[in-house]
Structure 1
Amino acid sequence: MEWLSAENVVAVSTAMVGIVASAVMVWYERHIPRRKRIGYRVQMDNPIGDDFQSGRPNVRLGSFDAPNMANGTLVLLRIENDGSESIGLDDYTSRELNGLTVEFTDRNIHGVSVTQPAGTDHLMSHFTPHSGFGYDEDGNKLRIPRVPLNRGEYFKLLVLLSGGDVGADIKLVGGIRDGVVRPNRGALPDDKPPLFSRAARVITIMLTVSVVLLAAIVIARDDNPPPLGCEKGKLTVTGSTAFAPVVQDLAKEYKKDCEGSDIDVEARGSSAGVDELEDLEGESAKTRASMLAFSDGRSARAGRTLEAEPIALSVFTLVAHDGLDLSKGLSLTSVRRLYSGEIGYWDELDPSLPHRRVVLVSRNADSGTRQIFQDRVLDGRWEGVPTTSLDCDLQGDRSAPVRCELNSTEDVLRTVAATQGAIGFSELNQATDEKGVRLVALNGDLADVDAIEHNGSPYPYRGVEYAYTYGSPPPGSLAASFLNYVRNHGQIVIRSHGHVPCSTTAGEQLCRDD
């Protein structure tokens, strides 16, 4: 019989071995508690050497400046997930922005370098001041950000210290939900490595044989199997300019994993993207499935033919020219007075502000960022000041504010930075590192993603990012595959741009409420 071929017999036998091994593993898992666990160990704690004498000028060691390092020491600290489960960003229980803190007893920190093994380059994106990473000058505490670690993943910190003695106490402080943070140690040269139990050896052997045989069968049948869930073809992603950097990175990661896919990101504004998608009425199903549109907030223009899926909670902010001192922030009432046209000069709003023309740098009518601003900040009202300038120049009626409309978030930020007396709005992450602008608090609250996600901040200027499709994308289409990739594998990319994925537990609630 055809089904009794040697290949099928091997496959069925292998499957049976795998089933038995899986049953044993289930029994093992039910009797052995699983815990999330972060371990840390000091792999090196050495004096720098005799070349570093007190009173000498600054000496550079690698990337460190080392002034007066008579008592200088180098510590290499390894931090690893040595538990049985992966650790995510939400698993850290710290109330601070950072997840963990290293305390060096009686020693001061002068520099730190982060390293990680090959294949875990994604960990480095978390080591930024925006994530809480850093230390205070002459302090003894090193703040470590919330780093997601798969089982067995680790990173190392090389820390330059002064004062204190080699071997002084080093502690890692912090907590993990349903887990522990504890010191551990590597095997010493004289230590004998621990042996597997007999049951563990049997399970390991059976699973190894099963995997090897199944892999051999797969290789024999298809030398070039496609990645799971990947689809080829061409997809155009249009819409939001504020969310475009996220989509561009998601498309780049998808194309890296799925060869043969062509994803083109064309950000034209939320409403323009939704309109372009809706204009595909009358086209073939294949053509309609070749486009996605991202919108900041639900689009009022979307018809019944379009379906919306929440992707992320986005946080936005008012931005002002850096020379305009709005460090006290603005109340919602003051913002509404500005955008109604009631205030022509800043000192009319607050006598402590300069006698300078108010310049309202806005977005065009296709902008979802503008729509959320009107809904959440202006209480549903349209901006009352008509467009008075195409390029935000200060000509015209000098008793009224200047208002201009631009095509993208990047244009708004550049114009606000270059124009005295200017105020505008932007997606938070794009505005954070923009030179020449300052973020403006609303009702006493600065835009803060972590405070919104974890502390229930009432900050108002935020909204849900939606992905629109023409009907439900057919199974096997690139649109369906890409959305599935965003939903299940895009959380790290979305978070790296300062958004909260709707697919997380906290994000799902926030996206539903907004």
Structure 2
Amino acid sequence: MDWFSAENVVAIGTAVLGVGASVVLLWYERRVPRRRHLGYRVQVDMPIRARAGTGAAGRVTPGSLGLLDGLGDDGDGLTPQGSALSLVLLRVENDGAQFLDSSHYTGHELHGLTAEFTGRRVRGLDVTQRPGSEHLATHFTPGAGLAWSEGTLKIPRVPLGRGEYYKLLVLLDGGTPGDPVTVHGGLLEGRVTPNRALSPDDTPPLLSRWAWVIISALTAFVCVLATLILLPDARLPIGCATGRLTLTGSTAFTPAVRDAARAYEKECPGAELEVAAAGSGEGIETLTQRGLAAKGRFPSVIAFSDGPAIDAAPQLRRLPVALTAFTVVVNAKLPLPRRDLSPSRIRKIFRGDITNWKTVDGPDLPITVVSRTSGSGTRATFEHTLLHKDEGEPAVTAPDCRTRTDPDVALLRCERPSTDALLRTVAAIPGAIGYAERRADTLPREVRALTIGGTAPTASTPQYPFTAIEYAYTYGTPPETSPAAGFLDYLTSGPGTNAITRQRQLPCGGPESGGRCGAPTG
């Protein structure tokens, strides 16, 4: 299982944890905030001593609700002097996500909440609130349900906005400080629960414990993943394979193949690619011989051909790689009024029907036809596209491209084994004409490219006639882990396509080819 690596495990774990956290937070945002919640907590619970003789009359007013009334009296059943007194500061707050109205309390009685002080009796209370919430004190009246009896304090239905709170300072007697204090009541789609005890006037923490756990876990996963990424990786990139590979065949496609091979070697240490351009026909022959010699094993050779290979062995498999445009070239000193020839005139020139440039509105100068040798993919493309299908080029009449071997033959024609040799010959002979692929690099200054029928030589123009599909041939199907399979994938769908476009050729795998390349065969 190649995918089962430390990086993948951490990445998948991070993704799962991130998705899970997102789902939980989404659920929390959609569900939990819709619930109302009242929280309470005891902030102070301390003993106090009473002094006798207060003599104050009992009264209940907002902000001073008879907290010390009657303390020290012993004639009306009030607190006798010397009994245990204590003060409890009880904070009640709306820590839910919605506004809490008086109608949201669900009890049938006038009050909304009930506070129980186990083992102690309520003697009085005062109400405090934060600045800006003084209006809350107006709700603490007997008419609103405020009352106490023994250890029970009835709290009115106080409306609270999000985050609002009030504090009740309750005077108690009997029992001991620390005895249980509970608040209960009903809320519409909500609940009343105790909060974690905090110091007075503290606000709740920004994030809950579980939020900190999730954040810490995500941070740890990301740190581990980043560490693994930064560590040197001895494994090869995806699609790379080690070993030797020979790239042969088309000289027209050689510049793109050479650039892609050098880039592939840089990205795939251990891969050794040899570029040995020899022409399409010779490249196919080399591949076939290496395949037969391998006796069932896959030969590490790819042969490129301009167009389909002629009489290819049945074991060969071909893959369309690129569309290449070729061009007709002439000596730059040839003073043609228009840098254009029609397909008909090109056919007549290369067949020998036209042997002087004055026939095509040029100077009175003999035409020297420079062609490629037999087996060249460029020549096969020229014959297939610009000559008649069953019509090949004539025989050589001047091997040195200057002197005819038979003076009675009007055509002066020679052949060259490569594109570079053809271009050098055309550049050296006034009146010479030939053909070559349309390269990204500039032609020699002594050579000029012609348009054909008014159409510029580009592979992206479907109307341009002198084009061919560049095929990559292998002897059988390359094994998935072989250098041949890796390089073909790199060249047809990976960064290697950049090497093709730099040479003004059109990758077959791109949308620009418009389906003109066809499908693999073999």
Tell me the TM-score normalised to structure 2 length.
0.57
Contact 2:441 2:503 in 1 (8 A): no
- Give how far 1:493 is off: 1.2
Name the SS of the counterpart of 1:429 in structure 2: coil
| 1:15 and 1:210 in contact (8 A); partners too | no
Q: Which residue of 1 aligns with 2:362?
A: 353
Question: Cα 1:287–1:236, aligned 2, differ >3 Å: closer, same or farther?
Answer: farther
Equivalent position to 2:281, from 243, 255, 271: 271
Matches of 1:471 and 1:416 in 2, distance apart? Answer: 39
Give SS of 2:484's match.
helix
Q: Which residue in the other structure is 1:460 paired with?
A: 465
CA contact (8 A) 2:300 2:484 kept: yes
Give runs of aligned pairs for residues 89-488 of structure 1, distance below 5 A: 210=221, 212-214=223-225, 216=227, 224-284=234-294, 288-326=298-336, 327-347=338-358, 349-350=359-360, 352-396=361-405, 397=407, 400-429=410-439, 432-450=442-460, 452=461, 457-487=462-492, 488=494
Contact 2:340–2:450 at 8 Å: present in 1 too?
Answer: yes
Distance 1:473 1:409 in 2: 30
Q: Is residue 509 from structure 1 mapped to residue 508 from structure 2 by the alignment?
A: no
The structural deviation recorded for 1:389 is 2.3
Which secondary structure does the structure 2 equivalent of 1:314 belong to?
A: strand
TM superposition outliers: structure 1 runs of 4+ over 6 Å: 22-26, 202-208
Correspondence for 1:116 = none
Shift of the alpha carbon at 1:339?
1.4
Write the distance in 2 (CA, Å) between the matches of 1:21 and 1:205.
Answer: 12
Q: Could you list the per-position Cα deviations for residues 6-54 of structure 1 after superposition, in whole angstroms to 9, with x for gaps in the alignment?
A: x98x97565232234368999xxxxxxxxxxxxxxxxxxxxxxxxxxxx
Three-state SS of the structure 2 residue aligned to 1:309 is strand
CA RMSD of aligned residues (A): 3.1
Q: Report the AA paired with residue 370 of structure 1.
A: R
Residue identity over aligned pairs, in percent, reads 35
What do the CA deviations read for 1:223-263 (whole angstroms, capped 9, x no partner)? 52222221111111100011101111000000011111110
Q: Aligned partners of 1:224, 1:218: CA distance in 2, in Å? A: 12
- Tell me the CA shift for residue 448 of structure 1: 2.8
Query: Residues 503 and 278 from structure 1, CA distance in 2 versus in 1: closer, same or farther, beyond 3 angstroms?
Result: same
Quote the Cα distance in structure 2 between the aligned partners of 1:322 and 1:513. 40
Q: Tell me: CA distance 1:385–1:284, structure 2 relative to 1, closer, same or farther (3 Å).
A: closer
TM-fit CA distance, 1:276: 0.9
CA distance in structure 1 between the aligned counterparts of 2:420 and 2:225, rounded to whole angstroms: 51
Contact 2:247 2:273 in 1 (8 A): yes
- The Cα offsets for residues 294-333 of structure 1, whole Å up to 9 and x where unpaired, read as 0011111312100000000000000001122332411111
C-alpha contact (below 8 Å) 2:440/2:504 kept by paired residues: no
- For the structure 1 residues 468 and 384, does the alpha-carbon distance in structure 2 shift closer, same or farther, using more than 3 Å as the test? closer
**Partner secondary structure for residue 511 of structure 1:** coil
- 1:213 Cα shift? 2.0
CA distance in 1, matches of 2:285, 2:375: 9
Q: Is the 8 A contact 1:21 1:206 kept in 2?
A: no
What secondary structure sits across from 2:329 in the alignment?
strand
Tell whether 2:496 aligns with 1:490.
yes
Judge conservation of contact 2:14–2:222 (CA < 8 Å) in 1: no
Letter in 2 for 1:353: G
Amino acid of the structure 2 residue aligned with 1:19: V
Query: Structure 1 residue 449: deviation in Å?
Result: 3.9
Shift of 1:402: 1.1
Matched, 1:500 2:506: yes
**AA partner of residue 480 (structure 1):** A
SS at match of 1:282: helix
Q: Secondary structure at the match of 1:405?
A: strand
For 2:258, the aligned partner's letter is Q
Q: Quick check: 2:280–2:304 contact (8 Å CA) kept in 1?
A: yes
Pair 1:441–1:204, CA change in 2 (3 A): farther
> Is the contact between residue 274 and residue 301 of structure 1 (CA under 8 Å) also seen in structure 2?
no
Letter of the 2:507 counterpart: P
Q: Whole-Å Cα distance in 1 between the matches of residues 21 and 305 of structure 2?
A: 49
Residue 16 of structure 2 aligns with an amino acid whose one-letter code is: I
Alpha-carbon distance between aligned partners in 1 of 2:342 and 2:20, rounded to the nearest angstrom? 61
Q: 1:213 to 1:435 in 2, by over 3 A?
A: same
Distance 1:208-1:320 versus aligned 2 partners, 3 A rule: farther
Kindly provide the CA deviation profile for residues 71-115 of structure 1, in whole angstroms up to 9, marking residues without a partner as x: xxxxxxxxxxxxxxxxxxxxxxxxxxxxxxxxxxxxxxxxxxxxx
Tell me the distance in 2 between the aligned counterparts of 1:475 and 1:513: 19
Quickly say closer, same or farther: Cα 1:257–1:510, change in 2 above 3 A.
same
SS in 2 for 1:441: strand
What amino acid does structure 2 have at the position aligned with 1:18? A
Amino acid at match of 1:276: T
Cα 1:319–1:468 shift into 2, 3 Å: same
| Residue-by-residue CA offset, 1:327-376 (whole Å, 9 max, x unaligned) | 241111111111111122222x22x3222111110001121011011011
Separation in structure 1 between the aligned mates of residue 19 and residue 484 of structure 2, nearest angstrom? 35
Structure 1: how far apart are the matches of 2:20 and 2:295?
Answer: 45
Which string of whole-angstrom CA distances, capped at 9 and with x for unpartnered residues, describes residues 270-299 of structure 1? 011011111124333786331000001111
SS in 2 for 1:390: coil
Q: How far apart, in 2, do the equivalents of 1:286 and 1:261 lie?
A: 23
Q: 1:367 to 1:384 in 2, by over 3 A?
A: closer
User: What number of residue pairs does the alignment pair up?
Assistant: 324
In the other structure, the counterpart of 1:17 is: 14
- Residue 204 of structure 1: how far off its partner (Å): 11
Secondary structure of the structure 2 residue equivalent to 1:411: helix
1:336 partner amino acid? R
CA distance in 2, matches of 1:510, 1:282: 32
- Which structure: larger Rg? 2
SS class of match (2:248): strand
Contact 1:269 1:367 (C-alpha < 8 Å) held by counterparts = yes
- Distance in 2 between the 1:295 and 1:398 partners? 37
